[in-house]
Amino acid sequence: MSTSPDLQRDFEYVWHPCTQMKDHETNPPLLMERGEGIYLFDQEGRKYMDVISSWWVNLFGHNHPRLNASVQKQMERLAHVMFAGATHRPAIDLAESLVRLTPDSLTKVFFSDNGSTSVEVALKLSLQYWAQKGHGEKRRFAYLQGAYHGETLGALSVCGMDLFRKPFENVLMDNLEVQGPDCFRCPYGLKREACDAECFEHMDRALNENHETLAGVIVEPLVQGAAGMKMYPPVYLNKLTAACDRLGVHTIFDEVAVGFGRTGAMFVCENLGLKPTFLCLSKGVTSGYLPLAATLTGEEIYRAFYGDYEDFKLFVHSHSYTANPLACACANETLALWREYEFPGALEPKINALRAGGKKLSELQWCGEYRQTGMIGALELVKSRETKEPFAIGERVGYKIYQEALKRGALMRPLGNVIYFMPPLVITEQEIDSMIEIAYDSIRAVLGKTESH
């Protein structure tokens, strides 16, 4: 396949993430030139609907004039300063806003620069807290099968997916994997809409048997993203926080992917009235403009690190770009847009439009399940509805549908056999209809060639 000189240089010099680079011998990456709203445009002017918000980060569309202006204005004042021994108003304003938007038990904000690191910070704070409280035996974490919390080594140690962790298994922390919710293939034969999270029995047993050595439990609230947008009911989180509080185990809510309105609420923990020990945020905080992350916690954790210098109880964790002023200014403008967006009411018609689209997708003979939480929708494709038999990974069904959707003007990135939708929240109801139509036609084009009933 002939490509442009730029794409040839890309293939020669660039190593892309989560990519088998050999694929680019025949299918080069899209060379994007610009963005506008929910659309991206390549070097030849072709337009693509960004239905996954460029890895779940974009909230208010590409090239938003107010976000552009916020970065430009801050750039003219202060682009960067080290965040040790110095501070700046964009970071102060952002920290105050995040504390006010989250549960009242969360009073302190520790900034970093990506979701994996926000998780690392929570893990390290938890471990150091217990050590400084005289409980050095509490040095393990429990996590769920299918969990994804990032790809740094600490975050990988609480990852429940072999795809990410297996090559590094021998050097990871000895943590505890626990069977979690699997609502599509529920072993109890129940439905997520009406169950009492009977599957919590596994975590309940793990906590009761191991709480003396567990520092904390980490979860993706309501939606396990990389596992295929696996969705489970709030009652699981209610039981988890109650058990952890009773047994003296920290709770870490990783809302990196689901925060900032994705579930229909600003944050899952605030909406459900839950008070995790730590809350990890990133992705949508700057609407996808600049890298930024935050780990929130409360006074009890904070006070365990507060004292005279010679006690050496400080938290020694730093990044060159911690609380970068440009990113913080952009995040503040993102939150300003939220305040004017009439959230969450403005999302209701869009959530309903996405649900209606899910009904259309459910008509496909390969639809094992369509599931939705707020503005996150997911279609799990199967060979047989009756047996729920999945397509083999070697068939690359998701990848073929991705290629087909590109021809029709949509940028998707399926998770195995799961086609999902997490578009910018400014998408219109009409654009949601178009998105669903493209997905429907792309699935039929690919799977209609392989089998029929």
**Residues 30, 35, 41, 45, Cα dihedral to 10°:** -140
Listed range (95-104, 115-124, 305-314) with the worst mean pLDDT: 305-314
My answer on whether omega of the bond before 423 falls inside 30° of 0, hence cis, is: no
Listed range (72-86, 308-322, 429-443) with the worst mean pLDDT: 308-322
Cβ atoms within 10 Å, residue 136: 10
Contact 4, 31 (CB under 8 A): yes
pLDDT band at 451 (very low <50, low <70, confident <90, very high): low
343 has pLDDT over 90: no
Cβ partners under 8 Å of residue 91, min gap 6? 83, 111, 323, 325, 328
DSSP state of 62: B
Q: What does the pLDDT average to over 23-42?
A: 95
pTM across the whole model:
0.96
Burial label for 161, CB within 10 Å (0-12, 13-18, 19+), is: middle
Q: For the chain, how many helices (H) and strands (E)? A: 15, 16
pLDDT at 453: 41
Q: Give the residue among 377, 381, 337, 335 at the shortest CA–CA distance from 359.
A: 377
Contact 35, 62 (CB under 8 A): yes
**Domains of the chain (ranges plus CATH)?**
31-63+344-447 (3.90.1150.10), 69-340 (3.40.640.10)
CA distances from 47 to 36, 337, 362, 419 (A): 10, 26, 27, 20
Q: Give the residue among 429, 437, 434, 294 at the shortest CA–CA distance from 360.
A: 437
450 has pLDDT over 80: no
Q: Which long-range contacts (CB under 8 A, 24 or more apart) does 337-340 make?
A: 337/60, 337/64, 337/66, 337/67, 337/287, 338/260, 338/261, 338/266
25-41 as b/e: b if 16+ CB within 10 A: eeebbbeeeebebbbbb
Helix (H) or strand (E) holding 94: helix 89-101
Give the whole-number percent of the chain exceeding pLDDT 70.
99
Q: What does the pLDDT average to over 359-380?
A: 97
CA distance linking residue 12 with residue 7, whole number of Å:
9
pLDDT band at 452 (very low <50, low <70, confident <90, very high): very low
pLDDT at 341: 86
